[in-house]
Structure 1
Amino acid sequence: MAKLSKRTRAARGAFEGKSDVSVEEAVALVKDNATAKFDETVDIAMNLGVDPRHADQMVRGVVSLPNGTGKTVRVAVFARGAKADEAREAGADIVGAEDLMETVQGGTIEFDRCIATPDMMPIVGRLGKVLGPRNLMPNPKVGTVTMDVAQAVKDAKGGQVQFRAEKAGVVHGPVGKASFGAEQLAENVKAFVDAVSKAKPTGAKGTYMKKVVLSSSMGPSVTVSVDSATGNEATPAE
C-alpha cells in the first residue's frame, strides 16, 4: 500500500466525519485543503435517480456560472462566409469548414467547445464518432448549433458549462477554481445544481437528486446536503 503524503493525511483528517454539510461549509473545506502547487479546479458531481439509457430519462443542459469557471476555453466554430467572420470577431480560436473537419478527422482536436451553424451540420455530422465521446458534438439543445455564433462564442468564453448524465446517472462539471472567493464558489455551486434540477426529465421516478459531492483536483471529496444545494433547507417536512 502506497504511503500517504503529509498533505493528503492532513486533508483527509480535515474531512473526517464531515457529511451532508452546507454548501458554504463544503466550499470552505475544499478551499482550505486545495494545497497543490497549482490553482486547483473545484468540481461538482451529482448522483441522479435516472437511467440515461432511456431517452425520457436523459439529463442534458447548459449553465452560465455567475462567476465563470476560471478556465481559458478554446472554441472552434464550423461556419462559412459572414458567420465565420462573426465567430472570429467574437473571439473564436479556430474557425473553418471542410478544412477543420479534415483536421479533426486527422486526430487534432485543439478546442474545448465546438459550435456550428445549422448549414454546417452535414459536415460536422461526419465527426460524430470523434466528437461525440468527448462531449464536443454541437447540439441545438445546448445552444451550440446556432446562427448566432458570436453570442455562442461569448457564452462559451464567459463561463458557460455543459452537463450531461453519464451511464450511471452521474452529472459532473467544474464550478470554479480554488482561488475563487468562498461566496463566488457557493454561488456557482448553487447555479449548477439549479440548472440540473430544472433539467429533470419527464421519465425520472422517485428521488431525482440523490447525492451532491464537491472536491478539488487533488483533494478529498465532501458530501453536500441536497437541501442546502437546492435552497430547500427551510422547507418543512410534508
Structure 2
Amino acid sequence: MAKLTKKQKAAADMIDREKFYALDEAVEIIKSNAKSKFDETVEIAMNLGVDPRHADQMVRGVIQLPNGTGKSVRVAVFARGDKAEEAKKAGADLVGAEDLMEKIQGGEMNFDRCIATPDMMAVVGRLGKVLGPRGLMPNPKLGTVTPNVGEAVKAAKGGQVEFRAEKSGIVHAGLGKSSFTKEALSENIRAFVDAVAKSKPSGAKGTFIKKIAVSSTMGPGVKLEISDVI
C-alpha cells in the first residue's frame, strides 16, 4: 500500500471513518481537502445491491448534470454527408465513417464519447471488441445512436455523464471539480444519485443503494448519509 503524504494524512485525520455525513458537510470537507496544484475532480462511488452478471440486474444510464462536469470531453461521431457536417458544427472532435473505423482499429482512441447515426451501426459494430470493453460502444438507450447527432454532441460536451455498474456492483463517476461552488457540487451529486436510483433493474432485490462515498482526486473518501441524498 502506498504511503500517505503529510497532506493526505492530515486530510484523512479530519474524517470520522465510522460516520455517515450529510451531503453539504461532506462537500465542504472535500473542497477543504482539495489542495493540489490542479483542479481536482469530485468523484462518487455507489455500492449497489446488484450482480451485473445477470441481465436483469444490469444498471446503466445517462444523466445531464445541472452544472456540468468541468471536464473537456472529446467526442467521436460516425456519420456521413449532412449528418457529418452537423456533428462538426456542433463541436465533434472526430467525424468519419470507414476512415474513422480504420483510425480506431489502428489505435487512435483519443476520445471520451462515441456517437453514431443509426445507418452507421454496421460499421461501428465491427469495433465492438475495441469500444465495448471501454464503455464507448454507441447505444440507442443512452442516446448515442441517434439521427440527432448535433444535439447528442452538445449534450456530451455540456455535462452529460454515462454510468454503468461494474462487475462488483459499483458505479463510479466524476461529477464536477473542486473549484465548483458547494451548491453546484451538491446539485450534481443529488441529480446523479437520483438518476441511479431510478435505474433500479427489475432483478434487484432488497436494498438497492447500499453505500455512497464521495472524494476528490487526491483526497480521502467521505461516506454519505443516504437518506440525505435521495
The question of a shared fold, defined as TM-score above 0.5 by the shorter chain, is answered with: yes
Distance of 1:141 and 1:35 partners within structure 2: 39
Offset from partner CA, 1:201-227 (integer Å, 9 cap, x none) = 011000000000101111100110111
**1:58-97 → structure 2 map (5 Å cutoff):** 58-97=58-97
Partner in structure 2 of residue 113 of structure 1: 113
Kindly state the Cα deviation for residue 15 of structure 1 after the two structures are TM-superposed. 1.2
Name the amino acid aligned to 1:185: L
Kindly state the Cα deviation for residue 3 of structure 1 after the two structures are TM-superposed. 4.8
Q: Would the aligned equivalents of 1:41 and 1:178 in 2 still touch at CA under 8 Å?
A: yes
Kindly state the Cα deviation for residue 10 of structure 1 after the two structures are TM-superposed. 0.9
Distance of 2:13 and 2:47 partners within structure 1: 25
**1:178-217 → structure 2 map (5 Å cutoff):** 178-217=178-217
Name the amino acid aligned to 1:67: N
Offset from partner CA, 1:114-142 (integer Å, 9 cap, x none) = 00001100110111111111111100010
**1:1-238 → structure 2 map (5 Å cutoff):** 3-17=3-17, 19-230=19-230
User: Following TM superposition, where does structure 1 have runs of at least 4 consecutive aligned residues deviating by more than 6 angstroms?
Assistant: none
Name the amino acid aligned to 1:128: G
Kindly state the Cα deviation for residue 104 of structure 1 after the two structures are TM-superposed. 0.3
For these two proteins, the number of residue pairs brought into alignment is 230
Distance of 2:217 and 2:166 partners within structure 1: 20
Distance of 1:26 and 1:2 partners within structure 2: 25
Distance of 2:179 and 2:116 partners within structure 1: 33
Distance of 1:18 and 1:31 partners within structure 2: 20
Distance of 1:147 and 1:222 partners within structure 2: 41
TM-score normalized by structure 1? Answer: 0.94
TM-score normalized by structure 2? Answer: 0.98
Q: Would the aligned equivalents of 1:18 and 1:222 in 2 still touch at CA under 8 Å?
A: no
Kindly state the Cα deviation for residue 5 of structure 1 after the two structures are TM-superposed. 2.1
Please, which moves more after superposition, 158-167 or 4-13? 4-13
Question: Which secondary structure does the structure 2 equivalent of 1:15 belong to?
Answer: coil
Partner in structure 2 of residue 233 of structure 1: none
Structure 2: tracts of 5 or more residues without a match = none
Kindly state the Cα deviation for residue 97 of structure 1 after the two structures are TM-superposed. 0.3
Kindly state the Cα deviation for residue 2 of structure 1 after the two structures are TM-superposed. 5.8
